[in-house]
């Protein structure tokens, strides 16, 4: 009876230690914010454009410009009056758990917004208020215009539609009559997509989840430059990376701090001067050899070129090698032929991998492919916690042995 009690008590201590250590190892996956404003099946709507107070008007600067990953263009609303408040919305194909949003105000003299309401619908035509944003929240005043505003809701909002709503009272200075935005992103939390730098995951992705990647903190480099590489990832079509001279090959590269899942590419070439006909896209995993993931032969990048990979590539470096240029660029009559390789903007897509078991660890030594041997790991937070767990189990086991031995020797006396 007494022996059984000692055994049970020790088992309880061991179990407690086991659970605490499991918590320390952080088995739970970390969530990330994913922009779902352009998820498959989503539609975009807006109250009007300047001079056209007609819903979804394509004239002027349409609201669709708020969903293209470019911050140098804009939606320019119709005139803000008491009778004609202006708004921009996203309608989702099904109810979504919205965790937050981010908006960019256009850098023009036609907008000086001082607040707005964030509204949503959930299966009915009724708009409900999720948030009221004031001039103070935006840091907006007569001397300070806001450029971006990002908010994560305390509790996610379940919505079939989401909109930003502006009234005449929120238009700012007297000589401003409209509201102009350059981008709107709507976020949902999903399990972290960052894998382990495995290169080709071999896994297809959910096409409905394809979204632009945030390249704001990435590095950019190139084989040569008459205009800096960083210009090609600044979100503006007014700036570009340009190679020096018209010789090929030239390359342009984007580097991330940690591996990311890349599902596709989009290039905005400055087709006025540049006419790439042949290109390869290469991936380098953890500083290793470059591997070709896409080849364009005798094609044209035109002004806007998009390609989605078959499977997701998990890596920290992607390189575009421009191997041949043609002479079909749009230039003035009699102008010189292609003079350089020029990219106004290089965008990358990410997506949710189709996998039964999404990656739950960011351990850099793991590989997604079970046929590949794991690379030996440096101790990380996770593995140190695991060692701690082993120590506790060993110590607990010894204590159990000792207790039982003492009990036995007492019984033998």
Establish if 73 lies at the interface with Ca ion (CB under 5 A): yes
Tokens of residue 315, six digits? 């890596």
Query: What torsion, rounded to 10 degrees, do the Cα atoms 192, 194, 198, 204 define?
Result: 60
Instruction: Using alpha carbons, list the distances in angstroms from residue 157 to 100, 220, 244.
Output: 8, 36, 50
Q: Per CB under 5 A, which region of 79-87, 120-128, 177-185, 280-288 contacts Ca ion?
A: 177-185
**Which of residues 201 and 269 has its CB atom nearest to Ca ion in the complex?**
269
> Nearest distance from residue 71's CB to Ca ion, in Å?
6
Establish if 65 lies at the interface with Ca ion (CB under 5 A): yes
**Which of residues 63 and 264 has its CB atom nearest to Ca ion in the complex?**
63
Return the residue of 70, 130, 248, 283 that touches Ca ion, per CB under 5 A: 70
Establish if 239 lies at the interface with Ca ion (CB under 5 A): yes
Q: Per CB under 5 A, which region of 56-64, 109-117, 338-346, 349-357 contacts Ca ion?
A: 338-346
Q: Per CB under 5 A, which region of 60-68, 150-158, 295-303, 315-323 contacts Ca ion?
A: 60-68
- Secondary element (H or E) of residue 386: helix 381-412
Query: What torsion, rounded to 10 degrees, do the Cα atoms 192, 198, 202, 207 define?
Result: 30
Q: Per CB under 5 A, which region of 107-115, 189-197, 223-231, 358-366 contacts Ca ion?
A: 223-231
C-alpha to C-alpha distance for 49 and 374, rounded to whole angstroms? 56
Q: Per CB under 5 A, which region of 146-154, 226-234, 274-282, 313-321 contacts Ca ion?
A: 226-234
User: Which position has the token pair 């894998």?
Assistant: 195
> Nearest distance from residue 67's CB to Ca ion, in Å?
7
**Residue 65's CB: how many other CB atoms inside 10 A?**
24
Return the residue of 345, 346, 351, 396 that touches Ca ion, per CB under 5 A: 345
Sequence-ordered strand ranges (E) for 241-328: 241-242, 250-269, 276-284, 290-296, 305-325
User: Which position has the token pair 């937070």?
Assistant: 381
Residue 407 sits at φ, ψ, to 5 deg, of: -60, -45
Establish if 236 lies at the interface with Ca ion (CB under 5 A): yes
Establish if 185 lies at the interface with Ca ion (CB under 5 A): no
Instruction: List all residues 6 or more positions away from 112 whose beta carbon is below 8 Å from its beta carbon.
Output: 140, 145, 171, 172, 173, 176
C-beta separation of 55 from 87 below 8 A: no
> Nearest distance from residue 238's CB to Ca ion, in Å?
7
Number of residues that bind Ca ion (CB under 5 A): 12
Find the binding residues for Ca ion in span 350-389 (CB under 5 A). Answer: none
Contact residues for Ca ion (CB under 5 A)?
A: 65, 68, 70, 73, 182-183, 231, 234, 236, 239, 344-345
């Amino acid at each position: 009876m007494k022996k059984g009690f000692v055994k049970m008590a020790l088992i309880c201590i061991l179990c407690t230690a086991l659970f605490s250590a499991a918590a320390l190892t952080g088995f739970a996956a970390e969530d990330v914010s994913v922009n779902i404003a352009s998820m498959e099946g989503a539609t975009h709507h807006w109250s009007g454009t300047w001079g056209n107070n007609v819903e979804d008007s394509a004239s002027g600067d349409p609201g669709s410009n708020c969903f293209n990953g470019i911050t140098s263009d804009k939606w320019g609303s119709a005139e803000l009056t008491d009778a004609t408040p202006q708004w921009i919305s996203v309608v989702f194909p099904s109810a979504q758990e919205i965790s937050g949003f981010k908006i960019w105000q256009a850098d023009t003299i036609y907008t000086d917004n001082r607040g707005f309401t964030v509204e949503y619908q959930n299966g009915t035509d009724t708009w409900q208020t999720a948030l009221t944003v004031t001039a103070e929240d935006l840091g907006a005043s007569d001397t300070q215009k806001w450029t971006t505003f990002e908010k994560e809701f305390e509790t996610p909002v379940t919505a079939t539609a989401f909109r930003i709503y502006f009234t005449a009272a929120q238009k700012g200075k007297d000589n401003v009559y409209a509201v102009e935005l350059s981008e709107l992103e709507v976020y949902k939390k999903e399990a972290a997509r960052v894998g382990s730098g495995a290169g080709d995951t071999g896994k297809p992705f959910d096409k409905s989840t394809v979204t632009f990647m945030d390249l704001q903190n990435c590095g950019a480099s190139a084989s040569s430059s008459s205009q800096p590489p960083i210009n090609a990832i600044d979100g503006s079509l007014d700036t570009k990376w340009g190679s020096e001279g018209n010789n090929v090959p030239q390359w342009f590269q984007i580097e991330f701090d940690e591996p990311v899942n890349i599902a596709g590419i989009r290039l905005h070439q400055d087709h006025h001067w540049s006419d790439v006909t042949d290109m390869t896209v290469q991936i380098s995993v953890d500083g290793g050899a470059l591997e070709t993931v896409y080849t364009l032969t005798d094609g044209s990048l035109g002004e806007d070129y998009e390609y989605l990979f078959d499977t997701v590539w998990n890596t920290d470096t992607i390189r575009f090698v421009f191997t041949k240029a043609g002479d079909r660029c749009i230039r003035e009559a009699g102008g010189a032929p292609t003079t350089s390789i020029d990219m106004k903007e290089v965008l990358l897509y990410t997506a949710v991998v189709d996998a039964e078991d999404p990656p739950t660890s960011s351990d850099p030594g793991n590989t997604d492919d079970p046929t590949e041997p794991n690379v030996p790991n440096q101790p990380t937070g996770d593995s140190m916690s695991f060692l701690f767990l082993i120590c506790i189990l060993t110590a607990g086991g010894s204590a159990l042995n000792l207790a039982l031995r003492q009990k036995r020797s007492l019984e033998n006396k």
